[in-house]
Structure 1
Amino acid sequence: MRGWGILPDVPRSLERLSGEVWLYPGDPDPALVQGCVGVIATPEGSVVVDAGQSPAMARDVQAAIAEAGLPKATHLVYTHHHWDHTWGACAWDGVEVIGHETGAEILAEQAKLPWSPDYLEAEIAANNKLEPSYGGRHFAMKDCWDGFTIVPPHRTFTDRLELPGGIEVRHVGGNHAPDSSVVVVPEASVMLLGDAFYPPPFHLRKMDDTTDLAMIRAFLAEDFEWYVDAHNPPRRRRSVKLAAGLMTAAGRFRRRPRP
């Protein structure tokens, strides 16, 4: 998509993927840890998939929704609890936040921590494997700390959930995060994957951790037209490049050191 690779401080526009599914592009630089945000327009309101990595990014997405003339957001779905997918949630006022019950418990505990630049630096000093994650947070949250809070889901689910517009939220788990979930929009033939098939975060990763090929095969077996993971441009199912790329563990989809 055109937005991938532009500077992180430049607001982007929503781009229509298929049907009523739109994407706010992330940035491919792994140091920025900035994934895409999905927006699904329904007559009842827009369903947002992932909150953005910071309140500033969330506000940029909100501006892009208004610019595109889409309905105001009514629901926000977390694909999983990791910070780059949830830390923008406190800027989504009046929106119902939805996530898996496992992630809700984790976020409730994380909300108790004294997040600040000093805290991030102290944690990195104590464990340098946290640098990709905590360094990314430091950059993303510049000028965003005032009023920042972590928002656990308002509504949780265990297996799957259906939202307005026939949108399906399904728990898939996996090695990256225990609460990983995908969002399926059958009418648009789109599956939004979050980070579900990625290996564990860098600070938890072992030498033999890699892309979850079995999970990818299961996704591809559903034969949707579009598959969107958070940190890469969207790919068509029918494309040989998509099928070959997703089935390759040799490096293209092995996640680089980001949380």
Structure 2
Amino acid sequence: MLHKYSDRVYYTDYDEVSDRPVLGYVTGERHSALIDAGSSPKHINEVLGEIRELGLREPDFVIITHSHWDHTYGLRALNIPAICNRLTYDLLKQDSKKIWDKEHFEEYKKSGLIEPFIFEHMEIEYSDISEVRIRLPEIVYDRHLSIDLGGLTIETFLVTNAHSKDGSVVLVKEEKVLFLGDSFYTELVGPDWVDHPDLVGEYHRELTPVDFEVAFPAHTDKITRAEMFAELTERESA
């Protein structure tokens, strides 16, 4: 379900069963943007349907926070430009070379190329794994990109984090809202979630100068700046 945070910022629910993440929708006076493309065409089409039901402007482009399947595999259902950082583009390009059918999917699981956690959730999202198609973004930035939506500025930038080397965040500047993607979380290594206190510390330091009041992690509830930084401080010293 699409929720209203303010007149210019909306967000979806996350789903623990399918591992669908929070997606964002941001609208200015001239342009609107999606934040992440979801885990499948079905997922993103449901979100687009809710945007239309609310009478909101159709998104003009989508910003990808990182390459993981639940944030990107809905891209092929969108007929708008996609934006990502260089590392994300390169990782998606690697994914696009995989053969997506039942036989290869099982092989990827056995070899560890796809972790069991991901395998289980992809089976929930896709009744037929051969439906997976990887679309590559058309607009690629190196470390930072700022976009004027008309009275509203969004900035996306790469951040050091424990979850993935290509993680980026999206700041909705005037609203003081920060979409975190999965950058707030630990790293999935085989069946285990592994934290990296040194990377958490760097993440904390990089986000400290950023002017935000509320953050949206992709798989948990929104949190205040103070709550987020308190948790990061604990993880740094773990």
Instruction: Pick the TM interval, shorter chain.
Output: 0.7 to 0.9
Asked if 1:102 corresponds to 2:87, the answer is: yes
Partner of 1:197 in structure 2? Answer: 184
Partner of 2:159 in structure 1?
Answer: 172
In the alignment, is the contact (CA less than 8 A) between 1:197 and 1:213 conserved in 2?
no
Partner of 1:229: 217
- TM-score, normalised relative to structure 1: 0.80
Equivalent residue, structure 1, for 2:124: 139
Q: Are 1:162 and 2:149 an aligned pair?
A: no
Per-residue CA distance 1:35-91 (angstroms, 9 max, x = gap): 100000123332000001111101001001111211101111110011111011011
Take 1:154 and 1:204, find their aligned partners in 2: how far apart are those partners? 33
Q: How far 1:99 sits from its partner (Å)?
A: 0.4
Which of 20, 23, 30 is the aligned partner of 1:34? Answer: 20
How far apart are the structure 2 equivalents of 1:208 and 1:173?
A: 13
Aligned to 1:8: none
Does 1:150 find its partner at 2:138? no
Q: Do the aligned partners of residues 19 and 113 (structure 1) sit closer, same or farther apart at CA in structure 2, a change above 3 Å counting?
A: same
Q: Does the 8 A contact of 2:180 with 2:218 survive in 1?
A: yes
Deviation digits for residues 151-186 of structure 1, max 9, x if unmatched? 111010001111232111111143322221111111
CA displacement at 1:119 relative to structure 2: 2.4
Query: Can you give the 5+ residue segments of structure 2 that lack an aligned partner in the other structure?
Result: none
User: SS in structure 2 opposite 1:244?
Assistant: helix
Contact 1:199 1:205 in 2 (8 A): no
Structure 2: how far apart are the matches of 1:45 and 1:153?
A: 19
Q: Which amino acid aligns with 1:161?
A: L
Mapped to 2, the partners of 1:232 and 1:118 lie a distance apart of 33
- SS of the aligned residue for 2:115 comes to helix
Secondary structure in 2 aligned to 1:43? Answer: coil
Deviation track 1:8-34 (CA, whole Å, cap 9, x = no partner) reads: xxxx2x11123411101111x2x5222
User: Number of paired residues?
Assistant: 233
Question: Matches of 2:96 and 2:34 in 1, distance apart?
Answer: 22
Q: Distance in 2 between matches of 1:32 and 1:224?
A: 29
Q: Give me the whole-angstrom Cα distance separating, in 2, the residues matched to 1:144 and 1:44.
A: 38
Question: Deviation at 1:141?
Answer: 1.6
Alpha-carbon distance in 1 for matches of 2:223, 2:195: 26
- The answer to whether the 8 A contact 2:84-2:141 is kept is yes
Residue 132 (structure 1) shift: 0.4
Q: 1:217 to 1:72 in 2, by over 3 A?
A: same
CA distance in 2, matches of 1:208, 1:73: 35
Tell whether 2:101 aligns with 1:116: yes
CA distance in 1, matches of 2:123, 2:30: 36
- The answer to whether the Cα contact below 8 Å between 1:43 and 1:71 also exists between their aligned partners in 2 is no
Q: How does 1:19-98 map to 2 (within 5 A)?
A: 19-27=7-15, 29=16, 32-93=18-79, 95-98=80-83
Structure-to-structure mapping, 1:201-212, within 5 angstroms: 201-203=188-190, 209=196, 212=200
Q: Does 1:216 align with 2:204?
A: yes
In 2, distance between residues paired with 1:219 and 1:19? 25
Question: Structure 1: where are the runs of 5+ without partners?
Answer: 1-11, 255-259
1:68 partner amino acid: L
> For residues 190 and 101 of structure 1, what CA distance do their matches in structure 2 show?
24
